[in-house]
Structure 1
Amino acid sequence: MNTSVQQAIAALPVPREWLWEVVVRPRRRTLGIEVAPDGGVLFAVPADADPVAVADAVRSRLPRLALEVRRRQRRPDEPVKELVGGTSFAYLGRRHRLKLVPRGEGRRVRLHRGWLELPRPETVSQGALWIAEWYTACGRRWLSARIPSLASRVGVPLGPVEVCDLGRHWGARAQDASIKVHWALMQLPSALVDLVLVHELCHARAAGHGAAFRREVRLVLPDADERERWFADEEPNLWRGAIREVPFSGHHGH
């Protein structure tokens, strides 16, 4: 633990109620700040970090950091859906009502005439899984077509793109240039999915989330600030698969 860095941060006007810690990551060259889903703050520093420089960097980011901590601490409960006819599901920003249809050979979850059709599953858990798999498959196709042009604009090589459940994370980039994206993002308008993709692609050019990284993002998306505010409003409403365990009725939608 870099105690001098910790003391330097503690001397700043950091709100008393914040839960924060400093960790030393030898591979880092600059300060990294991570905000956990519950609002906890992690300051990741290089082994040879200068306490004064770190304190100056944290001080300059405190206003934006305070907004993010407050937003996460106020985060509403994760959305829960009932798999009954008429329940709303979004795909790329457009809302579609659920329609339960009879099971049959070759039947699958699909968008059809404005409805999201779900072959009647045996359990609600199975139905939620089928819908998540549908988002995953649609996302894989859509992103594979979308991301090459964004990677070209960022100016970085592109590895494989995987769509999966990332828990509390929306995107991740690995050392091999592969990118993972949470399937739930496919509920968002394309402009916000692009924001997440550009965010991950720009990590190939700048580590952390400091000024250099933000500059890279804004070179590709000049309206990134506006998109980030929009994303902050939309993100708490994203359905991640939570369902209310109610027995199926005869309601099929219409």
Structure 2
Amino acid sequence: MPVLTVGETQISYTLRRSNKTQSARITVTPQTVEVVVPATASEEEIAGVLHRRRDWLVEQTRHMADIVATAPKVVHFVSGAKIPYRGRLVRLTVQPSDGTLVEVSFRNGFIIHYPCALSEGSRDTLIEDALRLWLRKRLRGDVNAFVRQHGESNGLKPRRVEIKDQKHLWGSCGQDRVVNLNWHLIFAPKTVLEYAVVHELCHLRHRNHDRDFWSLVAAILPDWEVRKAWLDQNEHLLVLHRLEPGPTRLI
């Protein structure tokens, strides 16, 4: 992996050449720095792009490091651990049971039962998988309810709705009228999720973020700016980092 050195700071990045792009772009996330350039870009041109953006890159990578440091983290899925859910940190109660599967329920907190025979080494992974499945199902139910509430009454009917693990987007709406929502929105308050759903539904009528688009959003959600501001300011909370043992991963 190539490395950009700026003073005493070293920034590792991935370089990808694309026939579809006409100009270089750099994307910085908590996990990676990706540099995408035209397929014909020379080494000198790439070096020039990195040199011009070096101060911005240092600032952004430090910002992402701060996001990772403040994001919710869990070491083991045990009673007393907390994970984000609908805008707040929620406590886990984890108990053995005579069942054969990990079961997740919610009553003022997550209640998780795992088989007594489950080995300690595999317990965290299986609980994590069960939680992730439960959260995605709950998000799908919430999203479908908002689509019924706001879509049908405003003539905004998607062909279908998909729940995805999108890297850089909270949602998208394609020319095929398929609405995609990022499943990590389950960590945001329901009002923020509602805004994300309405935002994508409005793209069924207006493809761009022009005045007509935002007027339609405002007609459905008059306080959309407050909800959008929460999402912009708290996006670092909408991810859960798993710490030791093993490599960091997203739940």
The TM-score range, normalised by the shorter chain, is 0.5 to 0.7
State the shift of 1:127 in Å: 2.6
Report the TM-score, using the length of structure 1 for normalisation: 0.61
Unaligned runs of 5+ in 1: 1-22, 26-33, 41-69, 248-254
Match for residue 243 of structure 2? 244
Report the TM-score, using the length of structure 2 for normalisation: 0.62
State the shift of 1:160 in Å: 2.1
Cα distance in 2, alignment partners of residues 196 and 231 from structure 1 = 9
CA shift in 2, pair 1:160/1:234, >3 Å: same
SS at structure 2 position matched to 1:175: coil
Cα distance in 2, alignment partners of residues 37 and 97 from structure 1 = 31
The answer to whether the 8 A contact 1:128-1:243 is kept is no
Which aligned pairs between 1:2-151 and structure 2 lie closer than 5 A? 36=27, 38=29, 74-75=63-64, 76-77=67-68, 79-82=72-75, 83-93=77-87, 95-103=89-97, 104-105=99-100, 107-112=102-107, 114-120=108-114, 122-151=122-151
Structure number with the bigger relative contact order (C-alpha 8 A, sep ≥ 6) is: 1
CA shift in 2, pair 1:157/1:73, >3 Å: farther
Cα distance in 2, alignment partners of residues 159 and 86 from structure 1 = 42
Alignment RMSD (CA, Å) = 3.3
Cα distance in 1, alignment partners of residues 216 and 20 from structure 2 = 25
Matched, 1:185 2:158: no
Cα distance in 2, alignment partners of residues 192 and 98 from structure 1 = 23
Q: Cα deviations across residues 35-79 of structure 1 (Å, max 9, x unaligned)?
A: 955599xxxxxxxxxxxxxxxxxxxxxxxxxxxxx9998341254
- Amino acid of the structure 1 residue aligned with 2:73: V
- Amino acid of the structure 2 residue aligned with 1:89: I
The answer to whether the 8 A contact 1:124-1:245 is kept is no
The answer to whether the 8 A contact 2:143-2:197 is kept is no
Unaligned runs of 5+ in 2: 1-18, 34-58, 247-251
The answer to whether the 8 A contact 2:72-2:84 is kept is no
Q: Cα deviations across residues 179-212 of structure 1 (Å, max 9, x unaligned)?
A: 2222221122111001100111111122232333
Structure 1 runs (4+) greater than 4 angstroms displaced: 34-40, 70-73
Match for residue 29 of structure 1? none
**% identical equivalent positions:** 23
Q: How many residues align?
A: 186
Q: Cα deviations across residues 213-245 of structure 1 (Å, max 9, x unaligned)?
A: 2222222222121211122222211125x3012
